[in-house]
A and B are shown apart, each in its own frame.
Chain A
């Protein structure tokens, strides 16, 4: 058989089997393409919406150094959104279409950003816990089967680990501070702990996408495996900070070498996914208002570019 006669499905299976990367020019099953678009877009939207809860503290950061670090972090998130939209565009969908789907609720973003940032300690907790959970997932995704997504993840992971360390440092300063600072650190930790664990998605026996995503080499570890890895990594850090994990069932299991933890409130998780979280409406309202308010600017940029193109055509004649 010559190369052109190779069955495209067989070639795709070969790539996955060999642990190689699927590239934009390769044939891929339509369902794989759709899954990749859904996953990359959801990730991009999460970065973009994630600007809001943290941006909420830019003007109020307690020191100029913290203010600078926070602005740079929120800027990185917008940058991650850009790489990820570009990765999604290699699958034949435009950023504009993805944006529309976010605004209309047809595509989702990580539910974690539907919780409010109520104190400065939330900025520390988000960096430490939310970025920590994100990294656990994203380190796996650096080895995912779709090439552009995998490469975007390598770059994003480097910046995210920086963010996680900065978040941890905020917490460290707070727990070494005044009684009031310690109190906001514990309060933020309690509010972000369970939502961070829920970020890994439903338990394996209830996850609709896990099996197919594993077969396609998109997902290399299950939700429960990743969640366990995160808990094992984070509990000792909380101990070091002197923070109390809000879980009476939490204990270290000598036999397995893992922490045992209590049941996540999945009803609450699904309520937030369905739109009934503390900030779902505000996040989308903010995003669509920014987009609608900017319409005249985007129209002006297009009109100006068109005039420039006309002028240069005129000059060539």
Chain B
């Protein structure tokens, strides 16, 4: 039997990825290039927010009687968030937004597929629902990356710049430590060995279709899973949390 604290930490890693990405996507509603894309970005934001709520609600059960999805979202500070640094990166232009989304989607599809086989029924159930959403997110982001890569000279350059800017934050998605290891040994989590390979295959196939390439710079910025974030998260959190924090204990 693994320590409940390990499952809690793992759930925060998953929930925070989705919460922080939903927050970034929420910034984009009404700013997209077409009305259809305003609708799409709201839809994807809602899916990630829904996944975050399911996971954080489950995590809250391990965090004491007063904990809830809202206390976890609104009352933790920067160092306590465990999302991968990729999802906290600013939206940039549409190319950068789509590069970030492609990398998240290419990761989440095999990640949720694996997680759906967890021996923890709640985790497996959440993942089985989420994987369906992740698959159509991937269809959309792949399509846009190809369209922009292939479209005009300007769109090609912008899409490549987006890939170049976001690539260095991708390794953080795959970071695991003794938390996952303990849960795997306890038979709660499945092996994540194949996720990276599937991600690499998906990304290289999409980039090839969009006539795009991965940057040569090998530097990868990791640390989000242990609370060592980029400076961007420290600006996102006050915006998200201020109202809640200014009214301690209030119901909404």
Interface residues of A (CB under 8 A from B): 48, 51-52, 55, 58-68, 71-72, 74-75, 78-79, 81-82, 85, 120, 170, 173-174, 176-178, 180-181, 286, 290-291, 293-304, 307
Contacts and interface: CB of A to CB of B under 8 A. Distances in A.
A307 B42 contact: no
Nearest to A69: B46
Contact of B33 (A55, A61, A298): A298
B38 A51 contact: yes
Given A63-B70, A304-B150, 6 more contacts: A64-B73, A71-B45, A71-B46, A296-B152, A303-B155, A304-B148
B223 interface: no
B39 interface: yes
A52 B29 CA distance: 8
A64 B53 contact: yes
Interface string B24-48: 0011011111111111001101100
B151 A286 contact: no
A293 B33 contact: yes
**Is chain B's binding surface mostly helix, strand, loop or mixed?**
helix
B42 A78 contact: yes
B247 A58 contact: no
A302 to B, nearest CB: 8
Contacts of B34: 294, 297-298
A294 B42 contact: no
B239 interface: yes
Interface string B209-252: 00000000000000000000000000000011011100100111
Contact of A181 (B32, B35, B250): B250
Contacts of B29: 51, 55, 58, 71, 74-75, 78
Contact of A68 (B30, B46, B154, B240): B46
Given A78-B35, A307-B150, A173 B242 contact: no
A170 B250 CA distance: 13
A74 B42 contact: yes
Which 6 A-B residue pairings sit nearest by Cβ, starting from the closest? Answer: A294-B33, A300-B151, A300-B155, A75-B42, A51-B30, A297-B33
Contacts of A286: 30-31
A60 B147 contact: no
Contacts of A170: 252
B252 A63 contact: yes
A303 B39 contact: no
B133 interface: no
A67 B24 CA distance: 13
A304 B45 contact: no
Nearest to B236: A59
Indicate the member of A65, A68, A297, A303 with the most B CB atoms within 10 Å.
A297
Contacts of A61: 243
Contacts of B37: 294
A63 B93 contact: no
Contacts of B81: none
Contacts of B56: 64
A182 B155 CA distance: 50
A62 B158 contact: no
Given A67-B26, A71-B42, A290-B33, A62 B69 contact: no
